[in-house]
Structure 1
Amino acid sequence: MKSISIYRASAILLFGILLVIALYYGRIFFIPLGFAALLSMLMTPVSRKLEQWGIGRGVATLLCILIFMLFLAAIAAVIAAQLVSFSEDLPQIQKKLEQLLDTLQQWIQHKYGASPQQQITFVREQISSLSQSANKYFTTVLSGTLGLVSAFVLVVLYMFFLMWKREKFEEFTLRLVSPENRPEAQQVVNEIKQVAAQYLVGRLMSMLFLAIFYSIGLSVLGLKNAVLVSIIAVLPTIIPYVGAFVGAVFPLIVAMISGSPSMVLPTFAILVAAQVIDNNIIEPLVMGSKLNLSPIFTIIAIVLGEMIWGIPGMILFEPLFAVVRIVSQHVQKLHPYGFLLQNEVEDPKWVDKLKGLFGKG
């Protein structure tokens, strides 16, 4: 067995370090481009359908972007309508919150001997210290909002050009390889487009199911503003694994404040039941094994994404790792890496039967 050259190992390590540095310092450029690439692959079938109806490429691309923006506007409208209803219940929620704070003060006094006045003094001191840096926080929030708006504009612009001239970018990719390898390169490109579109569709279908399940369950439970609470709880689930835990916090707090302590446990049961059904039935059916990533590398992708790109990285790095797996499985020297990234967990037999039923349907 030949030993690995120290120079080759050093070159691989140096390449990895430089890649991470480039991704970190170039995140302002790469994050909008990454989202635009995913969304372009998702909307390309719609654009092709419109073109088959006789609509020009440019107009079809603009219509796809309009559909995407209308989808976002619809979500914002639903949230705004629910916020109006939520604002009507604010006096009652405030009264309930004051009762909970009074109970908490009594518990702290009993446990630690701090009187309510001492607790109020402590809180005021903390608020005063925070207010001294209010300008700094305001500037940070303002710059973050402006950055978000500019990033959204970039995503829309990138989407337009990636969809409008998609054949050119595909041809460029094929020209990077020798003519005899172009059929396999074309297969790689097709697989990447399919995985990206399937990932977004599957994630959106999963979020839609959770929103409906949460809304019905919390409404039956009697929780006020169940639709708004469900939407806010579902939005973080676009981040795999971690998002479910983050999203569960808000319904539990609302159940405690606007409902009663006895509603917390049923609310928790609804959240857990929805996640169990989603993870074991919905996601395997709508996403299948398209990403085909090992669970441990899915978690690694989320952690690395957060370290390098923050929250956008937690969303983008999972399909990015899937792209690396696809390329590795089609390049002879990278086969071991493709094998390492590949999912080794098989779906239960009953899930395969369900897939067969849906496929026949």
Structure 2
Amino acid sequence: MMDPPAALNRGVGYPRPMNDALRIYRAGLGLALVVFTGLLIYWLQPILTPFIAGALLAYLGDPLARRLQRLGLNRMIATSIVFLLLFSVLAAGVLMLIPLVGRQIDTLQSQLPGMLTWAQETGLPWLEQTFGIDFGTVDLAALRNAISEHWQSTGNVAAEVVGRISRSGMAVAGAIATLALTPVVAFYLLRDWDRVLAALLRTVPPSWRATTAQLAAECDEVVGAFVRGQLLVMISLGLFYAFGLWLVGLQLGILIGLLSGLAAIVPYLGFIVGIAAATAAVIVQYSDWLIPLLLVWVVFGAGQALESVAFTPLFVGDRIGLHPVAVIFAVLAGGQLFGFVGVLLALPIAAVVVVLLRHAHAFVTG
């Protein structure tokens, strides 16, 4: 016998009030589970960071582990290889980037007084002349003098932060626990990824499993495209901008390039932030700044072209369907509601919601 929803979709009269009540009950139960899950994440967020970070690392490494399995390796060996590769790359990146970024921050601090002098003597007068804007209440001279007097005493920001953290035993314990648990969680989740997914699917009622598996596959495609693909786009753009600006000779080029790559999580934001910051840095650093400025614009133009014709089509494709405004809102909302854990979960959850809304719209419109 045809089930009631299918019969109704085909125009066969099959009114079943109890079935409608059952659907309402199930929808309410599903909504209650979503709300409870959100509350659980909110209550447990202080301890969730290593588990979420470990799950993301396992999710990133699972495709490579599957490829190694297809080459004849068992899951344990494939997991060990991927695990060592992931954490070797992360450790190398951290060991290389922290000193480099630290030196760039020191350079930025030493240049801030000069930047403020240029803004006070050149930038603001030009804006007043060109656009008729009155900046009379802006006192950059006092800010410049304060920075000139105190920047050396606050130059070692990392040491100050470490010193403050070390005075809090709970903060130290939390940081150690996070650093210790994240690789452990990542390893075991990566090793048992298929088992975990199969166990989750078995919790779904049998009549829903086919639909759930289909939705999960589509969600995986969208989330994978965003998490893996956009991450690769951000890394590629950050490295390209940093190397290009370093070749131009911009003293803050590496810092600006890396920040531009990080901001590329939102389409075009990395380009806008990077070219604005690099333009200001060029004007402050060079007295004859026209040629360096043109070279900086060439670097960002080339980066934008590479993102459009190579990085995004190759790593991401057209499978995400997330509007840039939705990306910004998801990140800010996740951070506001659940802190750092919310930032980690924001975009994957937003991508899943897009898939579910697409199916809901298709179901309602028939």
**Cα contact 2:266–2:327 (8 A) shared by 1:** no
Give the secondary-structure state (helix, strand or coil) at the position aligned to 2:196.
helix
Q: Map Cα deviations across residues 207-240 of structure 1 (whole Å, 9 max, x no partner).
A: 2431343145424533236445423442344466
| Offset of residue 67 of structure 1 | 0.9
Contact 1:302 1:317 in 2 (8 A): yes
Task: Name the structure 2 match of 1:324.
Answer: 353
1:309 alignment partner, one of 338, 341, 347 = 338
Q: Which moved more, 1:308-317 or 1:57-66?
A: 308-317
- Structure 2 residue matching 1:319: 3-state secondary structure: helix
Contact 2:242-2:253 within 8 A present in 1 as well:
yes
Counterpart residue identity of residue 301, structure 1:
A
Give the C-alpha shift of residue 97 in structure 1.
Answer: 5.2
Query: Quick one: which of 49, 74, 77 aligns to 2:92?
Result: 74
Q: Which amino acid aligns with 1:168?
A: R
Please give the alpha-carbon distance, in whole angstroms, between the structure 2 residues aligned to 1:244 and 1:310: 27
Q: Give, in whole Å, the separation in 1 of the partners of 2:114 and 2:328.
A: 41
Whether the 8 Å contact between 1:239 and 1:314 is mirrored in structure 2 is no
Partner of 1:300: 329
Q: How many residues align?
A: 324
Aligned residue for 2:76?
58
In 1: Cα distance, 2:91 partner to 2:46 partner: 25
- For residues 167 and 104 of structure 1, do their structure 2 counterparts lie closer, same or farther at Cα, with a shift above 3 Å needed? closer
Q: Does structure 2 retain, via aligned residues, the 8 Å contact 1:207–1:234?
A: yes
Q: Select between 276-285 and 32-41 the one with higher mean Cα deviation.
A: 276-285
Corresponding residue of 2:361: 336
Separation in structure 1 between the aligned mates of residue 243 and residue 144 of structure 2, nearest angstrom: 40
Which residue does the alignment assign to 2:194?
Answer: 167
How much does 1:12 deviate? 8.9
Name 2:58's counterpart in structure 1.
40
Percent pairwise identity: 23
SS in 2 for 1:274: helix
2:129 paired residue number? none
State the Cα distance separating 1:287 from its structure 2 match. Answer: 1.0
| Worse-superposed segment, 113-122 or 161-170 | 113-122
2:307 aligned with 1:278, yes or no?
yes
Q: CA deviation at 1:68?
A: 0.9
Could you tell me how far 1:169 is from its partner in structure 2? 1.4
Q: Residues 255 and 188 from structure 1, CA distance in 2 versus in 1: closer, same or farther, beyond 3 angstroms?
A: same
SS at 1:26 equivalent? helix
When the two chains are superposed, the root-mean-square deviation of aligned CA atoms in Å is 5.0
Distance in 2 between residues matched to 1:72 and 1:16, nearest whole Å: 34
1:234 is matched with 261
Amino acid at match of 1:161: Y
Name the stretch that deviates more: 246-255 or 176-185: 246-255
Q: Within 5 A, what are the aligned runs for 1:187-206?
A: 187-206=214-233
Distance 1:339 1:97, change over 3 A: farther
Q: CA deviation at 1:119?
A: 7.9
**Residues 161-219 of structure 1: per-residue CA shift (max 9 Å, x gap):** 21222232122222123334433333333333333333233123312431343145424
Q: Distance in 2 between matches of 1:104 and 1:268?
A: 21
Partner amino acid for 1:297?
Answer: A
Query: What amino acid is the match of 1:287?
Result: V
Q: 1:222 aligns with which of 245, 249, 266?
A: 249
Match of 1:178 in 2: 205
**Helix, strand or coil for the counterpart of 1:223?**
coil
1:325/1:337 contact within 8 Å kept: no
Q: Which residue of 1 aligns with 2:319?
A: 290
Partner of 1:26: 44
1:27, CA displacement in angstroms? 2.1
Instruction: Measure, in 2, the Cα distance between the counterparts of 1:242 and 1:30.
Output: 29
Equivalent AA in structure 2 for residue 73 of structure 1 = A
Amino acid at match of 1:278: E
**One-letter amino acid of the counterpart of residue 326, structure 1:** V
- The superposition leaves residues 80-129 of structure 1 with CA deviations (integer Å, 9 ceiling, x where unpaired) of 57469869x96x994x6555555667789x9569897898589989x99x
Question: How does 1:60-209 map onto structure 2 within 5 Å?
Answer: 60-79=78-97, 82=100, 94=110, 99-100=114-115, 120=145, 139=164, 147-209=174-236
Corresponding residue number in structure 2 for 1:346: none
Contact 2:49 2:340 in 1 (8 A): no
In structure 2, what residue type is equivalent to 1:47?
A: A
| Residue identity opposite 1:49 in structure 2 | R
Gaps of 5+ in 2: 1-20, 125-134, 154-159
Residues 1:31 and 1:284: Cα distance change in structure 2 (over 3 Å): farther
TM-score (norm 1): 0.65
Alpha-carbon spacing, 1:152–1:137, altered in 2? closer, same or farther (3 Å): closer
Describe the SS at the equivalent of 1:40: helix
Does the aligned pair in 2 maintain the 1:232–1:250 contact within 8 Å? no
1:255 to 256, 265, 282: 282
Query: Alpha carbons of 1:149 and 1:286: their partners in 2 closer, same or farther (altered >3 Å)?
Result: same
TM-score scaled by length of structure 2: 0.64
Aligned partner letter, 1:156: P
**What letter corresponds to residue 151 of structure 1 in structure 2?**
T
Name the CA distance, whole Å, in 2 between partners of 1:246 and 1:146: 36
